[in-house]
């Protein structure tokens, strides 16, 4: 019996280790508490019976610690990340309903043939990629919320803000949305930022737009209604807009996670951030490649111009469409040799949560959202940016 009980206890400990919940900080706080409250006696008693009991005490102490095992900063980072992932999921679902693959993994909608065909001009696998990006975002917010919950912190739920209209185009679901894909002003400077060999946004540098006319005005990235399905250059311009918007969104995630990670305290939280962030980058790399295939055209309905990025006055290292891997550039200090890196990653300045919310707001994603929503998302961003290692 005793052996079985011990075995069960060991298994419990192993399970605890596998889940890697809270033990890093809580062990420290247990040891600190032990030294203060019980002195060496507490630790000594555990060590005296072979170490297992000490660890059991640690586990018990950490289980009792609840959400206390994550710092306020860690909770703020994970909460903001969960909110961003919910918003990403909302926008990707809208893309998937009309231009992706609707199945049991990503249900909802029935597709728009003309929009899907226009997206396929960018790549024959666009529908699959849109589907997979959507599924990834669903998994990101679902995991982050479950993880927050497991630590006794509140999961994020933005359902009360699902008040924005759906597209009226055939194929879209008619449900309330969190994000607006029908009046976008897409910042396409990510294109040139990653090609520059001498500049870095963390040094305050700015970068030219790849598609200047997409960065001013308001344009749909999904058909707003079936009237948007023609003429051909109009629906292609909508698909091209989506192509560059995909890159805009996912490069944001690529910078956000490494930036937030620098404020994390708990090693497991760091592991979570370092494991999700590169998936945003793998999305981005795909979209960067596909955006370069957007055909040059002028939308006859609104004058939106997609230039040939390989020809004058574009072209060269800043615009050439097959230069999709980040060029080496200045990092940390100009005294170091240029290095190929994700940028920005400077916490709470050019990168980070507030910068992300600002960029998404300027993008038009929140047009029509309530002040309450904007206040909440901004507050979560400020709190996430305020997180510092050890606090
Ligand atoms: Fe994500």
Q: Alpha-carbon distance 126 to 328, whole Å?
A: 29
Beta bridge pairs of residue 333: 331
Residue 313 has what pLDDT?
A: 94
Task: Tell how far the Cα of 114 is from the centroid of ligand 1, in angstroms.
Answer: 27
Judged against a pLDDT cut of 80, whether residue 163 lies above it is answered with: yes
Residue 42 has what pLDDT?
A: 26
Task: Tell how far the Cα of 280 is from the centroid of ligand 1, in angstroms.
Answer: 6
Task: Tell how far the Cα of 76 is from the centroid of ligand 1, in angstroms.
Answer: 17
Task: Tell how far the Cα of 21 is from the centroid of ligand 1, in angstroms.
Answer: 22
Among residues 239, 378, 222, 237, which one has the least CA distance to residue 297? 237
Q: Which of 6-15, 36-45, 166-175, 218-227 has the lowest mean pLDDT?
A: 36-45
Q: Alpha-carbon distance 86 to 83, whole Å?
A: 5
Q: Are strands 305-306 and 297-298 parallel, antiparallel or unpaired?
A: antiparallel
- In degrees to the nearest 10, what's the CA dihedral of 288, 293, 297, 300? -70
pLDDT per position as a tens digit, 231-290: 999 999 999 999 999 999 999 999 999 999 999 999 999 999 999 999 999 999 999 999
Among residues 159, 199, 156, 198, which one has the least CA distance to residue 177? 159
Strands (E), the chain: 297-298, 305-306
Q: Alpha-carbon distance 373 to 187, whole Å?
A: 22
Q: What is the mean pLDDT of residues 308-325?
A: 95
Task: Tell how far the Cα of 277 is from the centroid of ligand 1, in angstroms.
Answer: 8
Tell me if residue 184 falls in helix, strand or coil: strand
pLDDT per position as a tens digit, 5-55: 444 444 443 343 334 333 333 333 333 332 222 222 222 223 323 333 333
Strands (E), 31-176: none
DSSP 156: P
Task: Tell how far the Cα of 225 is from the centroid of ligand 1, in angstroms.
Answer: 28
Between 235 and 390, name the one with better pLDDT. Answer: 235
Task: Tell how far the Cα of 298 is from the centroid of ligand 1, in angstroms.
Answer: 32
Residue 347 has what pLDDT?
A: 84
What mean pLDDT is reported for the chain?
86
Percent of the chain at pLDDT > 90 equals 81
């Amino acid at each position: 019996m005793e052996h079985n009980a011990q075995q069960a206890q060991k298994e419990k400990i192993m399970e605890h280790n596998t889940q890697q919940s809270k033990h890093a900080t809580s062990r420290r706080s247990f040891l600190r508490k032990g030294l203060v409250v019980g002195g060496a006696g507490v630790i000594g008693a555990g060590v005296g019976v072979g170490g297992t009991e000490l660890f059991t005490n640690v586990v018990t102490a950490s289980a009792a610690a609840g959400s206390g095992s994550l710092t306020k900063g860690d909770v703020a980072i994970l909460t903001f990340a969960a909110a961003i992932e919910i918003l990403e999921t909302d926008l990707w679902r809208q893309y998937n309903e009309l231009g992706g693959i609707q199945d049991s993994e990503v249900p909802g909608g029935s597709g728009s043939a003309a929009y899907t065909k226009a997206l396929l001009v960018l790549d024959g696998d666009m529908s699959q990629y849109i589907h997979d990006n959507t599924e990834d975002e669903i998994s990101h917010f679902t995991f982050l919320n479950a993880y927050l919950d497991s630590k006794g912190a509140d999961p994020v739920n933005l359902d009360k803000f699902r008040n924005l209209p759906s597209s009226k185009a055939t194929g879209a679901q008619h449900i309330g949305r969190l994000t607006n894909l029908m009046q976008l002003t897409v910042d396409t400077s990510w294109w040139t930022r990653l090609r520059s060999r001498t500049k870095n946004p963390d040094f305050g540098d700015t970068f030219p737009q790849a598609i200047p006319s997409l960065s001013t005005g308001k344009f749909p990235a999904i058909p707003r209604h079936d009237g948007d399905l023609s003429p051909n250059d109009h629906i292609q311009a909508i698909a091209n807009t989506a192509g560059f918007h995909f890159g805009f969104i996912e490069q944001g995630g690529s910078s956000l996670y490494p930036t937030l990670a620098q404020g994390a305290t708990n090693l497991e939280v760091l592991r979570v951030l370092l494991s999700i962030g590169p998936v945003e980058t793998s999305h981005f790399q795909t979209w960067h490649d596909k955006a370069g295939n957007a055909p040059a055209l002028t939308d006859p309905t609104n004058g939106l111009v997609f230039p040939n990025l390989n020809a004058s006055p574009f072209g060269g290292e800043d615009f050439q469409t097959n230069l999709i891997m980040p060029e080496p550039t200045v990092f940390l200090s100009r005294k170091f040799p240029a290095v190929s890196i994700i940028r920005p990653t400077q916490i709470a300045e050019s990168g980070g949560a507030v910068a992300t919310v600002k960029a998404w707001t300027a993008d038009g994603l929140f047009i029509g959202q309530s002040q309450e929503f904007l206040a909440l998302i901004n507050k979560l961003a400020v709190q996430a940016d305020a997180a510092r290692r050890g606090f």
